[in-house]
Structure 1
């Protein structure tokens, strides 16, 4: 009888924890990030290596502005799964937002080593290279992103911005106009400023 009660409690605990993970997913999908963090944290207290819950909790931390906690989750994921491209890309985005552009290149380099067809990794590498003044490298990265995803409007926009810096105005305006056709909001301002 004692073992039956212990088994029942164990099944109940596992069921509750699984429910926490599912609830976390529901909250995450509904963009209720604070509740998602709470549910994922509860689940991770007994399943600390569950990569999907770690990733979604990290993304939730990003959304509520707790980048240090997000970084901890993404770094933990890379310890558990060194081939997790999305974790590298998330670290690259946070690094970009923190103006740590050399770190962006490290993280995007790791992502591209794992998946050279990641348009997002090429794009983020282009943004960081542009900020660091590596204009040719930035254009190459944007070109790669566009080759992989012809509808990557932001890549056209920022490639156009690099071309402005290289005094290639006609080509820059072509990029701005293409970005506008892909509904990139900032493209209008660029066209008004540079394409008269």
Structure 2
């Protein structure tokens, strides 16, 4: 009887030790994630990358860490790396709307406008009130020669009070011959705080 009690005691200790380790590990990953997000927002990309790497070492299925890392890679102009991390984030969590947005802007920078439009479509489907996604999809459509599609997207963004879309609409949609003079403006900076909180 004492032997059975001792085994139950040992088993209980093992379970609590395991659960405690899991909780500590989870807390460690989240702590590194928060630290990485803050460092990224401050422009400390090297420090943020180290923190996100630590998160992924603890939890390789942490989709938001891949998303955070994609923001950094985008800002460092490593668009292919950003695409890889966004794709992994989506595979792990298809509900991360910003991953689709990040794919769109990364493909845009690589001049893969058709793919950019497809990703902005997916982003807009999940967040229909995202004026920036309409604005950038409009820019990609303009690059593909679809001026009416671009103007339509910019009109939607203007309806959401997106100033840059109003400027593009005024410049390219009121005077159709100017449509071929598309500016070489880069998309707006990735909003690092989107879905990273």
Which sections of structure 1, spanning at least 5 residues, go unmatched?
A: 169-196
Q: Distance in 2 between matches of 1:17 and 1:164?
A: 51
Q: Distance in 2 between matches of 1:116 and 1:124?
A: 14
TM-score of the aligned structures, taking structure 1 as reference length: 0.73
Indicate the residue corresponding to 2:176 in structure 1. 166
- Could you tell me which runs of 5 or more consecutive residues in structure 2 were left unpaired when the two chains were aligned: 1-9, 179-197
Contact persistence 1:146–1:155 (CA under 8 A): yes
Q: Which has the larger radius of gyration?
A: 2
1:35-184 aligned at under 5 Å gives the runs 35-147=47-159, 149-150=160-161, 152-163=162-173, 166-167=176-177
Aligned-pair distance for 1:19? 3.4
What do residues 88-122 of structure 1 show as CA deviations (whole Å, max 9, x unaligned)? 11111111111111111111111122222221221
Contact 1:54–1:73 (8 Å) recurs in 2: yes
Q: Which has the higher contact order (CA 8 A, sep 6+)?
A: 2
Give the count of matched residue pairs. Answer: 164
Q: Which runs of 4+ in 1 moved over 6 A?
A: none
Compute the RMSD of aligned alpha carbons.
Answer: 2.6
User: Secondary structure in 2 aligned to 1:45?
Assistant: helix
Whether the 8 Å contact between 1:85 and 1:111 is mirrored in structure 2 is yes
TM value normalised by structure 2: 0.73
Is the 2:67–2:86 Cα contact (8 Å) retained in structure 1?
yes
| Range 9-18 or range 138-147, more displaced | 9-18
